[in-house]
Structure 1
């Protein structure tokens, strides 16, 4: 009789606790009368705190949390398709979740339980924790092209947020770029020089923490030798003068191009021209061109522009090399250059 009264009293107390919103721990598969007894005995099951993780690989995540007093064990949950599902039970306050997809973001929760009369009675869930597995090792890295100052790298696409590009500099690997593409061009390199590169993938979790895959195999690339720069020779000068003279004569009825500085001054003297009748000179240096043909087209283009501005019947065009009209060098390093004047 007394035992029956105790059970009834316990049931009433439990019902009152639930009715006023007090937390009542839940046990697995227990009827209402047994549950009330277990609730009274296991009300001290606490909520796990301090949940955190360490990503061990591209398929393993180790979870840890603070121990809960008087807990018999813990249950680990992982969110799948919007719902938290049980992963495992464990006795310790740490658990490694395995066989996860690489470069995948995951949410976890943990709750403690106390075993009462062979049944698990659970406390509250911990705060959720998110993290991610590492990407797989970067693969397929190769050199797809080189110039005298650049190296272009390409690699295979894998699941990740971005890729990190590394270069061997002074005996150590240094990160030189971050890209979401599967190719990258490294610039500012020296001609005819060998360089080493490697990459690795990075996955960011929901907390913006980076998780890295293993490095790719390193590749070596050698930049090409620079093309020799075009240098204007005396033979080029003679040819240009002849061809430009012929071109100008076809445009006007008089010789409009003079080769040497002295010839220019002699011609000016016969025309009784003063400085006020000179147009602004237009200087064309050959140092920046790759061939004779490119230089000829450039000088010819300047002449055509001046003819269009002034008119072919209104002006002579004087082209000479090496020196300005005041005797100073056109090029500070003394290299030949063209300077074009209008005389009108």
Structure 2
């Protein structure tokens, strides 16, 4: 769900975008847009007459828009980190929960909403393994197991700093830290833990595509991976599986640019997309977890089982504290750059 190159087409539409009855939405692009078009944008237009124009834009472009005073977008749909950056710069308008007519704010998971941001879905980083290598129940089932390369031998992978957040949380869990006690992260302890498992790490992956390819090709036989990337290759028959134990929930959120051209329409779109029935549609298509707890009842139970943070596995998960990462990213980046060189 990272940034993409700003498309040229939105500038052709810019004049129209400033007219009433439209919402310009920053999205990740690609297949994601197709899913949201089918489940959110077109139904919203049919119900309200308001046109939705999706635009792919980098985080840098979003920041530049605000700093230049030339805001060309209304709704931002992206990861939690960029929205925290924008919020701290005063670039966002509060979510008008009180105006919701289609959705109920109290049905949105409490950890998933704040004054300026609300989650449209949650994805996760999970512990995956190769079922040809680890047969039956004899597989790593938690992060301490993953760190035990003698009991569960084989090449491994973890996330690189280039993903935005290397797996310091998993390193601490493997070292005995409880999920509820992870933050603030003990950085020294995390790197000591990473150093213990490093000889068994074949690759530190920097993209979701690479992580899925490494697992599919059996270049590694266990590792951290985003659940959506893993599910996609499992659905194609790759001999892989995973555990929900100690999975890390990460949030995709929406927010409204301060002084955007169509604030009222953007507020309406948020209300629309938070409905249980709407979230059930795009949540099932993405295999990511809806933020509205009532949506789970409308999704095939077999698909719910594939969703992170679902009702049966929520107590095995923790929500990544992205605010902590935004506060400490530069320091961790320097530490990582030194550590990775050995």
More strand by share: 1
* TM-score exceeds 0.5: no
More helix by share: 2
TM-score (norm 1): 0.17
Q: Which has the higher contact order (CA 8 A, sep 6+)?
A: 2
Q: Which one has a bigger Cα radius of gyration?
A: 1
